[in-house]
Every structure is written in C-alpha cells, then in structure tokens.
Amino acid sequence: MTSKFGEISISTSKRRQIVDITGDVEGFVKGCGVADGICVVFSLHSTTAIVINEGEGGLKEDILRKIEADYPHGAGWHHDRIDDNADAHLAGTALGPSVALIVRKGDLVLGAWQRVLFIELDGPRSGRRVMLMAQG
Amino acid sequence: MTSKFGEISISTSKRRQIVDITGDVEGFVKGCGVADGICVVFSLHSTTAIVINEGEGGLKEDILRKIEADYPHGAGWHHDRIDDNADAHLAGTALGPSVALIVRKGDLVLGAWQRVLFIELDGPRSGRRVMLMAQG
Amino acid sequence: MTSKFGEISISTSKRRQIVDITGDVEGFVKGCGVADGICVVFSLHSTTAIVINEGEGGLKEDILRKIEADYPHGAGWHHDRIDDNADAHLAGTALGPSVALIVRKGDLVLGAWQRVLFIELDGPRSGRRVMLMAQG
C-alpha cells in the first residue's frame, strides 16, 4: 500500500468562479500507482470550496447565483471590518474545502455527470493551491 | 493493510426522499476485513446526497421540507432549460455526494443517534448507485 | 502503513458555539506515526458539525449568526415535538460531522488561515466526542 501526494495550482479571473479540475485529479490518480483506495482533494484556502456536481455551463452560473443570494457581500458581517470578504468565508465554511473520493482499478470513481469543481469565492487570485493525497 | 470495494443499489419512489443506508454500510464494513481504518461512502449521482444525521421520521420530513424551501423547483434556473432539475443539482452540490467515516475494531464508528442517509433529490429513480471503499 | 485512532473530548457553555480544535488534531497527527496519509475528523453527534475555516473572532460570530438565520429555532419543525432541537439537527445535516484532511511529512496540511472548527449547535453540553483516524 502506498500514499502519494500531489498539488494543483489554479488562477482565477473573477470574484466568484467555478474551475473544473476533474482532468487534473484524474491525471494525478492515473499516475500515482494506487489501484484501489481513497483520494482526498483539499483546497488550502478559506475563501474557496471543492464540490462535486455536473459541469454544464448553465448549472455553473446557477451555482454562483445561488451562492451570491445565500451569502450576500457586505451584509454587515463582523469579519468585514478586518477583511472585506466575510461572505466568501461563510460560503467556504458551508460548502467545505475537502472531498473524499474513491479510486478503483487505478481510476477515479465518478458518475457520468459528476465533475470535481473548485469554487473561487474571493477572486481574482493567482496561485490558489489544491492538495491531493491518494492512498491504497 | 487492505482496500475493499462495495456497492449499494437504491430505488426511490418520490421526487425527494431519504433512504437510511446505515445497515448496508455497517454490513459491508463488518464483512470487509478492515479492523481500523477509513470508509468512504460516495453516491455516483449529481442529484442525490449522502448525509449523516438522526433517522427519526419527523426529522426526515423536516430535512426534505428545508431542502424544498432552500432549493425551490423551477425558480428560473439556467439549467432548467436543459433538464428540469436545477434545484436537485443545487441541493446536491451543497449537501455533497461523499462522506468519510471511521472504522474501528471492525465496526463503523457512529454516535447513538447517527445514521447514514441517502437523499434522493430528483426521483423517483431505480438503480441509484452508492460506492463504498474501506481501507485499513 | 499504519492506522491510528484518537479522540477529543469537548465541553461547551452556550447553545451555539465554535470551538477551535486545530491544536488537538495537529497534536494527534504529530504523535501518531503517520508520515504521508489521510486523517478523518468525525464528530459523534447529530447536533454538532466539523468545518474548516478561519478562526478570527468576528468571523466565528458571523458563522453562528448565519446558522441562526438559516436554521431558526422553533420554526414549526416536526422533530420539535420529540426533542426541541430540530434546528440543530438541520444545521448539523447541512454542515456535516466529518472532514477528510491530508497528512504530509508527519504534519497536518492546512492553509495559513485554515482552522479545524467544532460547532456546537445544541449546547451547553459536556463530553462531546470527536473521533480521529489517521492512516498512512
């Protein structure tokens, strides 16, 4: 059994943006030497999230619209006195930075309509870091 | 150390429905040969979710009522032009398809009031697939 | 490869409260003998949650205010007839009791502003239990 570490670097161009990182995670899993096991995808940032869903363009807009409605910017949050991004932290807290995936026969296990999506909540930023650990 | 794969098949009869899969996951863990380790439960669908909470009947109705209130059907979502289920995708994105559990001494570690719940968000459907990977 | 189990005990003094358990989780990981691998943090309760975000004081107040707004106490939930805490179960369902973390070179992998936060949703309580499993 082996543990293999990887990392993805992401740059974003908007305040809120969805980046499909499925290909990067699949490529890492294929090359890491794990046949059957687990892969954890973990974003190093409090104002980003990792989710799993379909990558259809309209749906990605819907997800961002829903986040904006549920976590409005500048709604009198305490944290905005320190750093004007409490809404991004609140969405990041609820959506979460981490997802546990399954690896089987050397491939990432995903449904036909499932993609691994990185959500930027306080961009634009360069050098966003997503850590990967596969084990099996 | 070993990695063991399993699968649960679920059929649902309503658009939104909670199915308690604790017994299936516990049975898999007991039979998989892992003493101490991790078990990932992962649903293959973008319009379902896996959560952990109490299985009390009234609470399960409350969870579905809350999902319906937070993710109303047909609220002008872009994705509804392609497939009339954006609300199900949005709830699935927020709740998530995956949960990481702990296995100890050959048993699933759960609190007295915790159950593993599969949430159907766009049923009824047959052949919903939940993947399991235990490792330890 | 090894699997190592640990446990944290938490007492809370308010109905809703955030307890930073990063130091406990980091201490466990440092002492558990895992170099590269995965650590699952799992709360045994249906009315608590584990999240990852910044530990700044104002933000912690914002998180609790947001939970209170999204999951109001006594809003006519079915489960309140049995136990007057449906709001706590609903927040616990959405936020989740479990998070999968990465261990690298014997240390927990966290971003500069990320903390592991235990959220009490139905306190005050003593003896809240958070289970830890590191593997690698």
Size of interface A-B (CB pairs under 8 A): 100
Q: Are residues C44 and B94, on separate chains, in Cβ contact within 8 Å? A: no
Each residue's pLDDT tens digit, C33-51:
999 999 999 999 999 999 9
Side chain identity, residue C4: K
Each residue's pLDDT tens digit, B122-131:
999 999 999 9
Token couple for B88: 């199900």
In this prediction, residues C61-68 reach a mean pLDDT of 98
> Are B89 and A62 spatial neighbours (Cβ–Cβ below 8 Å)?
yes
CA A83 → CA A73, A86, A87, A119, B92, distances in Å? 12, 7, 10, 19, 30
Please give the radius of gyration of chain C, using alpha carbons only, rounded to the nearest integer. Answer: 16
Cα A48 to Cα A103: distance, rounded to the nearest angstrom: 24
Q: Is residue A21 part of a domain?
A: yes
Residue B35 belongs to domain spanning? 3-135
B35 in helix, strand or coil? coil
| Residue A49 confidence (pLDDT) | 99
> Are C10 and C49 spatial neighbours (Cβ–Cβ below 8 Å)?
no
B65 in helix, strand or coil? helix
Each residue's pLDDT tens digit, B29-64:
999 999 999 999 999 999 999 999 999 999 999 999
Each residue's pLDDT tens digit, A49-73:
999 999 999 999 999 999 999 999 9
With contacts defined as CB-CB under 8 Å, which chain A residues touch B86? 58-59, 62
Residue A75 CB coordination number (10 Å): 13
Diameter over CA atoms, chain C: 50
Residue with tokens 């002492």: C31
* pLDDT classification of A1: cutoffs 50, 70, 90: confident
Token couple for C90: 């609903």
Chain B residues contacting A via beta carbons under 8 Å: 1, 3-5, 38, 40, 42-46, 71, 77-79, 81-82, 86, 89-90, 92-94, 96-100, 129, 131-133, 135
Chain B residues contacting C via beta carbons under 8 Å: 1, 35-38, 40, 51-54, 56-59, 61-63, 66, 94-96, 99-104, 109-111, 113-114, 135-136
Residue B83: which CATH number? 2.60.120.460
User: Is the sign of the CA dihedral B80, A102, A93, A127 positive or negative?
Assistant: negative
For testing contact with chain C, the best of A25, A34, A79, A81 (most C CBs within 10 A): A79
Task: Please provide the average confidence, as pLDDT, over all residues in chain C.
Answer: 97
| Residue C1 confidence (pLDDT) | 85
* pLDDT classification of C94: cutoffs 50, 70, 90: very high
Predicted ipTM > 0.95: yes
Q: Is residue A79 part of a domain?
A: no
Q: How many structural domains is chain C composed of? A: 1
Q: Say whether pLDDT at C95 is over 90.
A: yes
Token couple for A9: 């670097």
With contacts defined as CB-CB under 8 Å, which chain B residues touch C43? 111
Q: Say whether pLDDT at B1 is over 90.
A: no
Q: Are residues A36 and B131, on separate chains, in Cβ contact within 8 Å? A: no
In this prediction, residues A29-48 reach a mean pLDDT of 98
